[in-house]
Amino acid sequence: MKTFKLIVTTVAISMAMFSANADEKKQKAPAKTDQAAKERIVRGTIMCGKCTLKKTDACQAALQVKRKGKDGKEVSRVLLLKNNDVTKAFHSKICGGDKIAVAVTGKLDGKGKKRVLVASKINDKPAPAKKGGKRKGKATDKKKKKDA
């Protein structure tokens, strides 16, 4: 009888530990979706989705981004911007066919092909993208030896 109680107690404690561990994993899972919703800076060419691209029924800002594909070739992708106060204020500059190089700060909303960029700021004088080239700092030992 004592052995049976010991086994039942051990099983109960083990199940409590596993269920507590499962609850912790469920709480950590939403953190990944929050990370996907972080604000980011997307650089590209902004234009009207109706007037220039003919992709939408109504005037809407669209951002054309150029990236390198898997095969190494340059691929362009179009992200539609959600019609909010920021994009509506900027839309008068691009409606009618103009294209402007910009840096858009915002969050991506939605999934797949229905993904839109919710802009919080549009900078029409973007700084060039950093490409991990030169580092700032002190001269290295190699430069010192060449100078000597």
Per-residue pLDDT tens digits for 92-115: 888 888 888 999 999 988 887 788
- What number of residues does the chain have? 148
Q: What confidence tens digit (pLDDT) does each residue in 39-87 have?
A: 888 899 999 988 888 888 888 899 999 888 888 888 888 889 998 888 8
Domains of the chain: 37-123 (2.40.50)
Cβ atoms of 106 and 42 within 8 Å: the answer is yes
DSSP lists the bridge partners of residue 42 as 104
- 64: nearest Cα among 82, 45, 81: 45
Does the predicted TM-score (pTM) go above 0.85? no
